[in-house]
Amino acid sequence: MSILEKFFLERSKTMLLVVDVQEKLSRVMDPAVLEKSTRNISILLEASAEMEIPVLATEQYVKGLGETIPELKEKLPAAAMEKMTFSCCGCETFPDELARLKRPQVIVTGMETHVCVLQTVLELLDDGYVVHVVTDAVLSRRKENWKTALKTLAAAGAVLTTTEAVLFQLLRTSGTDEFKKLSKLVR
């Protein structure tokens, strides 16, 4: 695999994954971190819609943790898949949906970084996907868990990135109507 294949996102090869950003789990997050992460996930959802990038979302144990928070749920193109396993890859429908999309690059956002995000990313990497973890769009209740998970993910081969880096990699050029519209999201 070339450097560009791993580190440079291609619109036609990419999909976005939103992992378990749910009501009850959100209540125990640091409010400032939750606000920033929610804003960044929202930016990525809006950009994905504009660029026709597929999106998958999951919800962990909905009965106990609630549904996806309203500000993100309204931007999802389809209902989130409910799961009981921490890794999205253990969800009954997720592997089939992932295979159907035929997108080798997965942009990952969500919570908690050290549990569901970590386990999902490790399995995706093991299955041969190129995974970009958006560090300002993943969160954990405790900063130490978040930091340790990011170190583990980088060591495993995930690309650590940011919302703005993802957006501009997917845009590629300035001066277009699409650039003018989407670049406003990060100003």
- Enumerate the active-site residues: 20, 83, 116
26 to each of 29, 45, 127, 141, how far by Cα in Å? 5, 18, 29, 9
Phi and psi torsions of 77, nearest 5°: -75, -15
Which amino acid, 29?
Answer: M
Cα 74 from Cα 45, distance rounded (Å): 10
Cβ–Cβ under 8 Å, residues 134 and 117: no
Cα 123 from Cα 133, distance rounded (Å): 13
